[in-house]
Amino acid sequence: MRIDIATLFPEVCENYLSSSIIGRARQSAAIEITCHNIRDYADNKHNSVDDKPYGGGTGMVMQAEPVYSCVTKNANKSAKLLYMSPQGVPLTQNLVKELAEEESLFILCGHYEGVDCRVLEELNFTEISVGDFVVTGGELPALLLTDAVARLQEGVLPDSDAYTNDSHWNGLLEHPLYTRPEVWRGRTVPEVLLSGHHANIEQWRKEQSVKTTAEKRPDLL
Residue 51 lies in a domain: yes
Predicted confidence at residue 165, as pLDDT, reads 80
Q: d(Cα 36, Cα 4) in Å, to the nearest integer?
A: 7
205 and 107 in a common domain = no
Predicted confidence at residue 25, as pLDDT, reads 97
Range of the domain at 77: 2-150
Predicted confidence at residue 56, as pLDDT, reads 95
Q: Report the half-sphere exposure of 98 (CA within 13 A, side-chain side).
A: 6
Predicted confidence at residue 163, as pLDDT, reads 85
Q: Does the global pTM surpass 0.85?
A: yes
Contact 106, 4 (CB under 8 A): yes
Residue 147 catalytic? no
Domain count, the chain: 2
Supply the CATH number for residue 14's domain.
Answer: 3.40.1280.10
* Regions of the chain where pLDDT drops below 50: none
Residue 185 catalytic? no
Contact 195, 155 (CB under 8 A): no
From 10, 66, 116, 151, active-site residue: 151
Residue 151 catalytic? yes
Predicted confidence at residue 132, as pLDDT, reads 97
119 and 32 in a common domain = yes
Predicted confidence at residue 162, as pLDDT, reads 76
Residue 156 lies in a domain: no
From 65, 86, 122, 174, active-site residue: 86
